[in-house]
Amino acid sequence: MTQQHAEPFGRLSPHDAKSRVDAGDLTVVDVREQWEYARDHIPGATLVPLGQIISRPQDVIVGDNLLFVCEVGQRSGVAAELAAALGKTSVFNLEGGMQAWRNAGLATEA
């Protein structure tokens, strides 16, 4: 039996994420590339491509109460892991990424 290691961040469904963002509990950080962000993103999201987060995490991951978003949830998981490694305690990954957000019928802006 393999032992599961707990992830150092939380996962939120699109609807849970939206309610937390709407309440002002979380800052949305979109880690996709500029062209992906330009196509559509969660209203109010800040673009910080994953490459920038990997190269200088302490400079670009500011604050806490962060929701990381990418297209399917993998790149944002890496970003959430890095944020947690920096000591951030309220870090979340959008489960299923923008695909899940769109599939849930939630608003985007371009």
Please identify every residue annotated as catalytic. Answer: 70
Which token pair is 61?
């991951």
Q: Provide DSSP, 64-108.
A: SSEEEE-SSSHHHHHHHHHHHHTT-SSEEEETTHHHHHHHTT---
